Structure 1
């Protein structure tokens, strides 16, 4: 079996999370509060996002969220790659 490059997988996960974060920002910017509520209520079937959607997010907070999302995605991908590689070695 092939080993996974954990750093590259982490980078792929991080970029994917960052793209989803940007997509969320675009949805909220273009559709407004009511459109965002409708979009996320449809996406998260069964959850009502009316009380948790906040439209007045400062730019610095959005940038920190973007960076944190990338870091968490990188960590998840790197962990998955590492754990996968460890399982290969044990067999």
Structure 2
């Protein structure tokens, strides 16, 4: 079995999370509040998101959010790769 490169898998997870975050930002920008609520209600199997959707997100908060999402994704991917590699027989 092949081993995972911990840094590369971490980067892939982090970048994927950041792209999903960016996609959410695009939905909120283009669809407006009602469209955003409809989109996320459909995505979350009918869960009512109207009480938690906030449209007045400051740019600085969005910037830090995408950075935090990347870091968390990187940590998750790196952990998965490391745990996988430890389980392989040498």
TM over 0.5: yes
Give the TM-score, by structure 2 length: 0.97
| Counterpart position of 2:74 | 74
Structure 1's unaligned 5+ residue stretches are: none
Give the TM-score, by structure 1 length: 0.96
Cα distance, 1:46 vs structure 2: 3.3
| Counterpart position of 1:64 | 64
Q: Distance in 1 between matches of 2:47 and 2:38?
A: 11
Q: Distance in 2 between matches of 1:83 and 1:7?
A: 13
Q: Distance in 1 between matches of 2:66 and 2:2?
A: 32
Cα distance, 1:87 vs structure 2: 0.2
Cα distance, 1:47 vs structure 2: 1.2
Q: Does 1:83 align with 2:83?
A: yes
Structure 2's unaligned 5+ residue stretches are: none
The count of aligned residue pairs is: 90
CA distances 1:3-55 after superposition (whole Å, capped 9, x unpaired): 10011000000000000000000000000000000000000013110000000
CA distances 1:29-86 after superposition (whole Å, capped 9, x unpaired): 0000000000000000131100000000000000000000000000000000000000
Q: Distance in 1 between matches of 2:29 and 2:45?
A: 22
Q: Aligned-residue CA RMSD in angstroms?
A: 0.9
